[in-house]
Amino acid sequence: MCQFIETIRVENGLPFNLEAHLDRMRHTRAHFFNIAHPISRADIMPFVASIDGIAKLRFLYDGTNIYEPTCTPYTPRQVHTLKAVESNNIEYAFKHSDRHALNQLLSLRGKCDDVLIVKNGHVTDTSFTNVAFFDGCQWVTPDTPLLAGTRRQHLLETGKIEARPIAIEDLVRYTHVALFNAMIDLGEIVLPIEHVVL
């Protein structure tokens, strides 16, 4: 059976941006299982641990059930360098538990910490985050993400980033790249653009 994964940031026992995660789960269930099986805050809250600070709530789900929930203290991954890798066939519009294609690309990182995935000449994401680039005035996120993440949606809705096409050759126009996802806010991981290995 096809399974999907959800990861939610929990701050001092409260899930961040929960409604966006629930919307994504509802949309995924409707798309793959031809159902909009009801899912609500009440389905998720029993798995949220009362941990001081930042915790990571992670679980698998399918059309009807939630599996293997864990809520553990969060330790951010250290990323200092990115290797640009190209794949014109990669698809990850839904957050599948099968990350084989992403892991294959990650294996091409060489001595870098992660990869910056390029599809059809345009920048998309890293293996585990969306990205935004600073042009000296504002943060710009590619309008071609592999996965339109919940944090990305929140940042767009609040005007903290804007979406534009970003071709790989456009990177010279930017000074920094920021990595963000459900667990990592904009500004928590920022690299000089020179730390992207082309």
Residue 52 has pLDDT above 90, yes or no: no
Residue with more model confidence, 49 or 75: 75
How many angstroms separate the CA atoms of 125 and 145, rounded? 6
**Predicted local confidence at residue 106, as pLDDT:** 97
pLDDT (mean) for 68-79: 95
**Predicted local confidence at residue 37, as pLDDT:** 67
The percentage of residues in the chain with a pLDDT greater than 70, rounded to a whole number, is: 98
Per DSSP bridges, beta strands 176-180 and 189-192 are antiparallel
Residue 123 has pLDDT above 80, yes or no: yes
DSSP state of 10: E
Torsion from C-alpha of 9, 99, 166, 136, nearest 10 degrees: 30
Residue 49 has pLDDT above 90, yes or no: no
How many angstroms separate the CA atoms of 198 and 186, rounded? 23
Average per-residue pLDDT for the chain:
95
pLDDT (mean) for 17-43: 89
What ranges do the domains of the chain cover? 4-73, 82-195
How many angstroms separate the CA atoms of 49 and 102, rounded? 29
* CATH architecture assignment, domain 82-195: Alpha-Beta Barrel (3.20)
Query: pLDDT for 137-163, tens place per residue?
Result: 999 999 999 999 999 999 999 999 999
**Overall pTM > 0.85:** yes
**Predicted local confidence at residue 38, as pLDDT:** 74
The percentage of residues in the chain with a pLDDT greater than 90, rounded to a whole number, is: 90
How many angstroms separate the CA atoms of 90 and 162, rounded? 24
Residue with more model confidence, 105 or 40: 105
- Is there a common fold for 4-73 and 82-195? no
Positive or negative: CA dihedral 160, 166, 168, 170: negative
Cα end-to-end distance, the chain, whole Å: 38
How many angstroms separate the CA atoms of 146 and 85, rounded? 14
E strand or H helix that includes residue 119: strand 114-119
**Predicted local confidence at residue 36, as pLDDT:** 64
The residue behind tokens 């590619």 is 142
E strand or H helix that includes residue 44: helix 41-44
pLDDT (mean) for 173-187: 98
Query: pLDDT for 94-114, tens place per residue?
Result: 999 999 999 999 999 999 999
The correct CATH number of 4-73 out of 3.30.470.10, 3.90.1150.10, 3.40.50.1820, 3.20.20.370 is 3.30.470.10
